[in-house]
Amino acid sequence: MLELIVFAPLFLMGQKTAHLHNNTMEDFTLYNAQRQTTQGTDDAQLGKIQTMRDEGLISDQEYQTKKNRLSSKK
């Protein structure tokens, strides 16, 4: 009976710690997924403005402005 009184609080503390750890890992995974999606979007936008510059739709100055704006978001 004494073992139950001693081990029950330890077990509950272990559960709480595991739960907090799992939540932290889930948050980290979500953050990384969002970051990778944003990075892919930025790369796509950079490719788009490069194409626009190459086709003469925007000037080099506009290209540099848009490129700097994209890189400052990172």
Please provide the average confidence, as pLDDT, over all residues in the chain.
81
Share of the chain above pLDDT 90, in %: 18
pLDDT lower than 50: segments of the chain: none
Query: What's residue 4's pLDDT?
Result: 65
Give dist(CA 46, CA 69) in Å, integer: 10
With contact defined as beta carbons under 8 Å apart, do 49 and 67 qualify?
A: yes
Query: What's residue 40's pLDDT?
Result: 66
